[in-house]
């Protein structure tokens, strides 16, 4: 799964003729999906619905969740992954209320705009699979395809979703990362080329860069000859990103499909505010995004769901009905579901799984400049090292400030720094037992630095 924001342009090789044929095929098959979602609605009311309020079983091949709780849906996905027959294909489709979902091995402080998240009251969840950060809302539909590990093929599962999108009359392509893109494509040539020259030691090569609209050329000693043209197509917008979980005997490919998502919210919430962080976690790839409804205004959650179900059935020769899942109290009280939802909502999972990282902060005070390097692992601050420049305090004082600030930070939760009650009463007068008239010299710099860190690491 990729994070989507303006920035990176992705190059993929396409076959224009095949793309045109795909459009014709898509338009021909689109009309049946206008009626398919009605069938899906009927199925959800009649087929496999009996007894779901009492129990949930993993024997079905196709599940559609009516819940919009991200904690429930992510836990349901994990439960199906661990309990469904290992040799059988499985499809799960669901939507979530607005939330930000980060990958299993990511650093939330490099992925999420937490001030904006708190301002709008949007939830944040760390999922159990890898990949990048994504934004969910009711305009986004999520799919999850589970298969035996021995027959799992990322390209094949990506083509299942691609076929579903094309059947809706939308021209789409699958790039080299198995993300689905739509929109106009420009013919482009590589922006890198080489100057080939002859010397006494033989041919040499110097790398040059030109605009991608210019054709690369190969320069030899006496003449100019064009390189064989390599057509590249720049994909303009992503509508879907994917992530994977690979286990011993079972694997899944899950992803998002932007249908009518609030893209402004997506962009704002996935624009992290913290800088100067060096992390061992996986970083998201930021890419331009679009909604399917810009390509086909009649596309909805229901029509897309129906298209995916049809494509899944065709690819894996599944003929069973759809099992609709509701987040009833009976199902949420199943031990695995209950414990899974509880785990996802804990600090220990959401932040405590963060890989090791460091962050450098700089601040100028009236008494000097301070540089702080904070090192954290699993969300806990392990070290806080201070350096001073142009300080108007002596070296003994700087040592005291560094020592007290380190003692204050180490062991606390990064992003949740709190001042202990005893710290508020630390005036420093004890350093001058004979005078009793003024605080120690380190008190003001220490209080300034701690107040700054408290305001920054929230």
pLDDT of amino acid 189 = 42
In this predicted model, what pLDDT tens digit does every residue of 441-456 receive, in sequence order?
889 999 999 999 999 9
Per-residue burial over 300-317, b = 16 or more CB atoms within 10 Å of its CB, e = otherwise: bbbbbbbbbbbbbbeebe
HSE at residue 275, side-chain half, CA atoms within 13 A, is 2
Angle between helices 154-166 and 16-46 (to 10 degrees): 80
Contacts for 157-160: CB closer than 8 Å, 24+ residues apart: 157/253, 158/242, 158/253, 160/308, 160/311, 160/312, 160/315
Residues in contact with 281: Cβ distance below 8 Å, sequence separation at least 6, in sequence order: 105, 106, 107, 110, 354, 355, 357
pLDDT of amino acid 439 = 66
| DSSP per position, 393-436 | S-HHHHHHHHHHHHHHHTTSBTT-----HHHHT--SGGG-TTT-
In this predicted model, what pLDDT tens digit does every residue of 296-335 receive, in sequence order?
999 999 999 999 999 999 999 999 999 999 999 999 999 9
* pLDDT, the chain, mean: 80
The pLDDT of residue 162 is above 50 = yes
The pLDDT of residue 371 is above 80 = yes
The pLDDT of residue 156 is above 60 = yes
φ, ψ for residue 22, nearest 5 deg:
-65, -35
Which of the residue ranges 96-105, 186-195, 331-340 would you say has the lowest mean pLDDT? 186-195
pLDDT of amino acid 9 = 29
pLDDT of amino acid 311 = 98
Contact 193, 227 (CB under 8 A): yes
How far is residue 175's CA from residue 316's CA, in Å, rounded to a whole number? Answer: 23
pLDDT of amino acid 421 = 54
Mean pLDDT, residues 339-355 taken together:
97
In this predicted model, what pLDDT tens digit does every residue of 49-73 receive, in sequence order?
433 445 799 999 999 999 999 999 9
pLDDT of amino acid 67 = 98
pLDDT of amino acid 429 = 36
pTM of the model: 0.77
In this predicted model, what pLDDT tens digit does every residue of 70-111 receive, in sequence order?
999 999 999 999 999 999 999 999 999 999 999 999 999 999
Pairing status of strand 123-126 against strand 10-12:
unpaired
How far is residue 94's CA from residue 254's CA, in Å, rounded to a whole number? Answer: 11
Any idea what the Cα angle at residue 279 is, between residues 275 and 283, rounded to 5°?
A: 85
Contact 102, 136 (CB under 8 A): no
Domains of the chain: 10-183+234-350 (3.30.930.10), 190-230 (no CATH), 357-456 (3.30.390.50)
């Amino acid at each position: 799964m990729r994070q989507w924001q303006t920035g990176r342009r992705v190059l993929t090789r396409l076959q224009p003729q095949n793309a045109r044929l795909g459009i014709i095929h898509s338009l021909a098959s689109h009309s049946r999906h206008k009626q398919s979602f009605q069938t899906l609605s009927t199925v959800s009311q009649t087929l496999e619905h009996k007894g779901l309020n009492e129990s949930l079983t993993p024997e079905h091949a196709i599940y559609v969740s009516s819940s919009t709780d991200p904690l429930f849906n992510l836990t349901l996905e994990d439960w199906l992954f661990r309990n469904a027959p290992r040799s059988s294909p499985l499809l799960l489709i669901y939507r979530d209320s607005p939330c930000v979902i980060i990958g299993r091995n990511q650093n939330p402080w490099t992925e999420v705009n937490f001030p904006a998240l708190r301002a709008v009251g949007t939830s944040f969840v760390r999922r159990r699979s890898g990949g990048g950060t994504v934004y969910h809302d009711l305009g986004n539909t999520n799919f999850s395809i589970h298969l035996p590990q021995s027959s799992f093929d990322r390209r094949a599962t990506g083509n299942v979703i691609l076929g579903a999108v094309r059947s809706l009359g939308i021209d789409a392509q699958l790039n080299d990362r198995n993300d689905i893109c739509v929109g106009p494509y420009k013919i482009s040539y590589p922006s890198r080329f080489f100057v080939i020259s002859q010397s006494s030691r033989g041919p040499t090569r110097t790398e040059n860069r030109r605009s991608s609209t210019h054709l690369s050329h190969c320069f030899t000693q006496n003449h100019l000859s064009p390189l064989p043209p390599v057509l590249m197509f720049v994909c303009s917008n992503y509508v879907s990103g994917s992530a994977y979980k690979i286990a011993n005997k079972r694997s899944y490919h899950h992803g998002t499909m932007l249908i009518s998502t609030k893209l402004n919210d997506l962009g704002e919430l996935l624009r992290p505010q913290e800088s100067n962080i060096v992390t061992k976690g996986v970083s998201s790839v930021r890419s331009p995004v679009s909604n399917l409804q810009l390509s086909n205004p009649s596309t909805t959650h229901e029509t897309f769901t129906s298209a995916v179900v049809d494509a899944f059935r065709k690819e894996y020769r599944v003929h069973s009905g759809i099992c609709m899942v509701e987040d009833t109290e009976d199902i949420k009280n199943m031990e695995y579901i209950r414990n899974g939802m509880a785990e996802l909502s804990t600090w220990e999972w959401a932040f405590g799984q963060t890989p090791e990282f460091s962050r450098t902060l700089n601040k100028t005070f009236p008494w000097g400049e301070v540089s702080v390097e904070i090192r954290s692992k699993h969300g806990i601050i392990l070290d806080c090292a201070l350096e001073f420049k142009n300080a108007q305090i002596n070296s003994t004082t700087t040592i005291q400030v560094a020592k007290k600030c380190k003692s204050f930070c180490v062991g606390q939760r990064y992003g949740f720094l709190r001042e202990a009650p005893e710290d508020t009463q630390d005036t420093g007068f004890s350093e001058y037992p004979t005078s009793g008239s003024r605080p120690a010299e380190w008190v003001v710099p220490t209080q300034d630095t701690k107040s700054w860190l408290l305001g920054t690491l929230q």
